[in-house]
Every structure is written in C-alpha cells, then in structure tokens.
Amino acid sequence: MARCEDVHEYDVSLDGEGLVIGIVMSRFSPEIGEGLLSACTSELRRLGVDESDISLATVPGALEIPLTLQTMAQSGRFDALVALGAVIRGETYHFEIVANDSSRGLMEVQLDCGVPIANGILTCEDDDQALARMQQKGSDCAQVAVEMANLLHAFGERS
C-alpha cells in the first residue's frame, strides 16, 4: 500500500527464486568466514535461491574482495553480490586502513557497476565479538542481496 495517494511505492520482495547470487569470502579469519558463509547460504536457500545459482570465490583477505566483486559484477552473470569476511582490531593502525578501504571499495564497485553488494565484512574489536555477530550478519546479507536485486529488477519492469 502506498504511503500517499497516487504515489507508486515499490514492494519489498524477499523472493529469491530465479536470482543468481555471487559471494566473495575472505580466508583471513576462516572460522568467522565459514560461519558467515553458512548463515548466508542457508538464508539464500530459505528465500528460494537455488543452490546451483550461488557461486563462491574465496580471496586471501578483505582488501582483495572489491576487485573480485568488480570482476563478478562486470560479468553480467549476477543479480546481486555478497562480501563476507572479518577485520579484527589489532595493535596497529592497519585495522582502520583495511576496514575503511574494503568498505569504500565495495561501495565504488556497486555504484560503478550497478550490481547491489551486501557488505558482510565484520569490523570487530576481537574474535569473540565477530563470532557472536557472524550468524546474524550472514543471514542479513542474504536478505539484503535478494531484496536489492528484486528492487533493481522492479525498476526495469515499471513503465
């Protein structure tokens, strides 16, 4: 239902049937990455994305994720993409660089390529914090990817 008369409002759709989703996962914190991946793929399947329509690429760390996502986005094969990984604060400034630049890279790719990207790169103080957040974040990313893919498809369908 539209919020105002005569205003078209796009419906939120979490129907993943027929969508093709690409996932890029960092191998740097493997336990956290695998937890994010498990939650994400379980939720994608629950939303109706066929397992054969989910592709996974792994990369060494968070800074390698944007380039891989860009290549996937430029292929034209994917309706949406998901970035998964964890950047854990250490004793040096490296945390800020990796967290900020990986996030900036994801935003640039989705704006340049027009393919939505769900950001599931956790930025946490420690491993315990990341472990506590990984299930919810992985699931949230699946929902974001499906919703945004459907929204962008709806723009093309409305005349």
Is 94 tagged catalytic?
yes
State residue 157's pLDDT score.
80
Q: In tens digits, what is the pLDDT along the chain, a chain of 159 residues? A: 557 788 989 999 999 999 999 999 999 999 999 999 999 999 999 999 999 999 999 999 999 999 999 999 999 999 999 999 999 998 887 899 999 999 999 999 999 999 999 999 999 999 999 999 999 999 999 999 999 999 999 998 864
Angstrom distances, CA of residue 81 to CA of 48, 55, 66, 147: 16, 9, 11, 12
Model confidence, pTM: 0.95
Residues with Cβ within 8 Å of 103's Cβ and at least 6 positions away in sequence, in order, are 119, 121
Angstrom distances, CA of residue 47 to CA of 13, 38, 97, 136, 143: 10, 14, 35, 15, 8
State residue 72's pLDDT score.
98
Q: Name the strands in the sheet holding 21-26, side by side, starting at the edge strand that comes first in the sequence.
A: 54-59, 21-26, 80-88, 117-124
State residue 2's pLDDT score.
54
The catalytic residue among 46, 94, 104, 153 is 94
